[in-house]
């Protein structure tokens, strides 16, 4: 039959992990994010196991454990603490407050599952071994981690033997030590008998205590001794079996065909890796080289190519362009020729006229000028000779 398991942690992932691991065993998992709400629910539901983060919200971890210990109906509830690797804590003190196991974060699913199973199995074994009893610890306190404990449960258990053991010890003592001596016996004989009875009861008590202590010591040391012996024997047998198995696997692993196949794969993989690495370096080198050489090569090639293209274009397209503009050129040439001809004709006509009129004009000038000059001279002489 499944048990009720409480998980107290601020991370939902921890809740889901505990729930997934506990579901196949039929356990009911209830998650909480803080300590006070878990305490309120625990008083009603009486969980068998509480998995709590050491850093609880709204309450200290020690205070939480003490509150669990104060409830009579939670006497069989066991606590598992989830701690961080950096936490500095007193495990003995926490164990005295009811903590049965510690899980260091981050933990694996297998660790959590083993802890849950072992803790619940141990709690079930203790319930079957002895009747449930109410806890009388820890004392009422403020629930802080720094307070001093009056007495731990382990010390109380060491100081007080179980009630049924004390009753058994008292039952082994002589009745004379607990019943009044008959008044009909002389006083001296009665005193001696009472002392012997007391001594016998004390010896019986010491013998019983020694027997109980020896049984406890044997029960504590025997499993370790048996485990050591079994481990030694199993170690020898397992060593031989492991050696044989390892030799077998080594022979199979070192077979020539397998080695060739493995080496071929390794070499191929390494070659691919080296090729990728070299290609990456070559790509960088090529880019740098192209960047350095390309401008000059492109400029030289562009100059030569552009010259060739220009020549080809001129040869191909110039005749067509000349043909399309030939008519216009003819008109312009004609106009220029006509204008030049007209100018030349006018100049030639002027020269011809000037040459033709040169002689007649010269003759006319020679004929007219003397007469005019003579007339002018006579008029000037007359003016000068006049008395006015």
Residue pLDDT, tens place only, 149-207: 444 333 333 344 334 444 444 443 333 333 333 334 445 555 666 677 777 777 777 77
1-15, 193-207, 241-255 — most confident range: 1-15
Bridge partners of 50, per DSSP, are 6, 79
Range with top average pLDDT, 8-17, 129-138, 369-378: 8-17
What's residue 40's pLDDT? 93
| Whole-number pLDDT of residue 388 | 61
| Whether the Cβ atoms of residue 63 and residue 142 lie closer than 8 Å to each other | yes
Tens of pLDDT along 217-239?
Answer: 787 787 777 777 767 766 666 76
What pLDDT is recorded for position 188? 53
Instruction: Specify burial of residue 52 (Cβ count, 10 A radius: 0-12, 13-18, 19+).
Output: buried
Tens of pLDDT along 292-338?
888 888 888 777 788 788 778 777 777 777 777 777 777 888 888 88
Between 218 and 137, where is the model more confident?
A: 218
Instruction: Judge whether 20 and 114 are in contact, CB under 8 Å.
Output: no
Q: Which residue has the higher pLDDT, 142 or 9?
A: 9
pTM: 0.37
Tell me whether residue 42 is exposed, middle or buried, using C-beta atoms within 10 angstroms of its C-beta: 0 to 12, 13 to 18, 19 or more.
buried
Find, among 306, 307, 326, the residue nearest to 318 by Cα. Answer: 326
Options 3.60.20.40, 3.90.1150.10, 2.40.70.10, 3.40.50.2300; CATH for 4-159 is 3.40.50.2300
Is the model's pLDDT at 269 over the cut of 50?
yes
Query: Is there a contact between 99 and 56 (Cβ–Cβ < 8 Å)?
Result: no
For the ranges 153-157, 340-344, 355-359, the maximum mean pLDDT occurs at: 340-344
CB neighbour list of residue 104: distance below 8 Å, 6 or more residues apart: 83, 84, 85
For residue 286, the model assigns a pLDDT of 83
Q: Which residue has the higher pLDDT, 209 or 375?
A: 375
Please give the C-alpha separations between residue 103 and each of 31, 53, 117, 335, in angstroms, as whole numbers.
17, 9, 14, 114
Residue 135 near residue 72, CB atoms below 8 Å? yes
Domains of the chain: which residue ranges?
4-159, 163-174+194-238, 267-324, 333-388
More confident residue, 101 or 150: 101
């Amino acid at each position: 039959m499944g048990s009720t398991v409480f998980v107290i942690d601020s991370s939902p992932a921890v809740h889901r992990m505990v729930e997934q691991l506990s579901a196949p065993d039929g356990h009911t998992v209830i998650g909480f994010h803080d300590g006070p709400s878990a305490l309120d629910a625990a008083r009603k539901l009486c969980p068998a196991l509480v998995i709590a983060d050491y850093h609880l919200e709204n309450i200290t971890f020690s205070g939480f454990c003490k509150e669990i210990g104060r409830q009579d109906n939670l006497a069989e509830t066991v606590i598992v603490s989830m701690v961080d690797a950096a936490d500095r804590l007193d495990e003995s003190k926490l164990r005295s407050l009811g903590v049965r196991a510690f899980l260091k974060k981050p933990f694996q699913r297998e660790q959590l599952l083993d802890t849950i199973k072992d803790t619940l199995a141990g709690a079930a074994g203790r319930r079957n071994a002895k009747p449930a009893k109410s806890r009388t610890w820890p004392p009422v306190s403020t629930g802080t981690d720094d307070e001093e404990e009056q007495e731990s449960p382990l010390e109380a258990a060491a100081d007080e033997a179980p009630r049924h053991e004390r009753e058994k010890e008292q039952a082994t003592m002589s009745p004379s030590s607990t019943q009044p001596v008959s008044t009909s016996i002389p006083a001296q004989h009665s005193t001696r008998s009472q002392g012997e009875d007391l001594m016998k009861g004390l010896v019986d008590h010491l013998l019983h205590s020694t027997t109980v202590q020896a049984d406890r010591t044997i029960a504590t040391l025997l499993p370790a001794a048996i485990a050591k012996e079994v481990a030694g024997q199993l170690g020898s047998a397992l060593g031989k079996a492991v050696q044989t198995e390892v030799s077998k696997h080594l022979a199979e692993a070192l077979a020539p065909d397998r080695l060739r196949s493995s080496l071929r794969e390794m070499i191929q993989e390494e070659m691919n890796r080296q090729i990728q690495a070299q290609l990456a370096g070559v790509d960088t080198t090529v880019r740098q080289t192209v960047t350095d050489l390309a401008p000059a090569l492109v400029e030289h090639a562009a100059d030569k190519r552009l010259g060739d293209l220009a020549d080809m274009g001129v040869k191909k397209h110039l005749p067509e362009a000349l043909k399309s503009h030939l008519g216009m050129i003819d008109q312009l040439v004609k106009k220029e020729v006509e204008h030049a001809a007209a100018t030349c004709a006018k100049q030639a006509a002027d020269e011809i006229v000037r040459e033709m009129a040169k002689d007649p004009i010269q003759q006319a000038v020679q004929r007219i000028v003397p007469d005019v000059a003579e007339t002018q001279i006579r008029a000037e002489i007359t003016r000068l000779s006049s008395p006015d």
